[in-house]
Structure 1
Amino acid sequence: MKKVRLITDGACLGNPGPGGWACVLRYHEHKKEIWGAEPHTTNNRMELRAAIEGLRALKERCEVEVITDSEYLKNGITNWIHGWKRRGWMTAAKTPVINKDLWQALEEQTERHQTTWSWTKGHASHFDNNRCDELASLAAREQKSGSKAG
């Protein structure tokens, strides 16, 4: 089984506001960058979208290490989701889970792979995380201005 590293990040100008997401996929010496944007969203939705789209881009079952600077993303998919599902997608406070649609999509994608999750400090020394931040921020700015670089 191929071993892939997936590094993710999301950005939002305002919260809510125009947002962007990005991910870097690494397999040996191969590197693929993917990014996108949404007109009205939140930072947490963009963090989730980055992971979903990165996993979705893998064409076959892989052993994937997902590296994120979002504790919300890492804790949600590794810990909180089990309780949410047990309670019918309600939080411990008996309120509906925010971003349920994306949590369900992320769970569907993680089940396609053998997935582990790692946290890295954002805006620090992780080169690929910094690159994701740059791409996600650019996507959000382009979404806001209505332009596209390239």
Structure 2
Amino acid sequence: MTTNNSTITIHTDGVCKRNPGPGSWAAIIEDDKKRFLIANRVGQTTSQRMELTAAVKALSVLNRHVGRPIRLVTDCQVLVKGMTEWLVGWKASGWRKSDGKPVLNVELWRQLDVFNEKHTITWEWVRGHNGHHGNEEADALANRALIEGRISEEVYL
């Protein structure tokens, strides 16, 4: 990624066969100069866990780019609502939902909370499998990782 102040866009997706079952996550990180594709497969997991993991892994890559605005685009409404609507309440109630049950995947939510405090992130939901290019590409990458395993590719524009 370049050192300018242009927005970094991240497209993420997670897939899981037989939820729960084998799964994978993927992220496409791009600015005006470069695209970075990362993905990996996981054994027993859930689709929601893969969606959250994709965001965590992508934001981990950007840890040294503090100060640059980030736009994270996902087809996971739980991720967007969690970060924009529910997070404050979860933290205030000791990471419990409104029904008193513990928040699932709390370790991933905690990591996302740290990134959210450190960076200026816009969380954006798009309908999955609806022709949105970045989402379709992230989905294809996640499905590729389900077969191939770890993927890490850098493309200069």
Q: TM-score, normalised by structure 1?
A: 0.90
- My pick for the range that moved more, 5-14 or 122-131, is 122-131
Whole-Å separation in 2 of the counterparts to 1:107 and 1:140: 27
Judge conservation of contact 1:26–1:32 (CA < 8 Å) in 2.
yes
Q: Deviations over 1:13-60 (max 9, x none)?
A: 111111100011110142111111210110000000111111111122
Residue 6 of structure 2 corresponds to residue 24 of structure 1: no
Q: 1:1-150 counterparts in 2 under 5 A?
A: 1-58=5-62, 59-61=64-66, 62-142=68-148
Q: Among all aligned residue pairs of Structure 1 and Structure 2, give the percentage whose two residues are the same amino acid.
A: 37
Could you list the runs of 5+ residues in structure 2 that have no partner in the other structure?
152-157
Q: Distance in 1 between matches of 2:36 and 2:123?
A: 19
1: distance between equivalents of 2:147 and 2:83? 28
Gaps of 5+ in 1: none
TM-superposition CA deviations, 1:112-144 (whole Å, max 9, x none): 21111111111112112111101112222446x
Give the alignment's TM-score, normalised by structure 2: 0.86
Q: State the 1:111 CA deviation.
A: 2.0
TM-superposed deviation, 1:108: 1.2
Aligned length: 145
Q: Is the 2:28–2:138 Cα contact (8 Å) retained in structure 1?
A: yes
Q: Partners in 1 of 2:13 and 2:117 — Cα distance?
A: 21
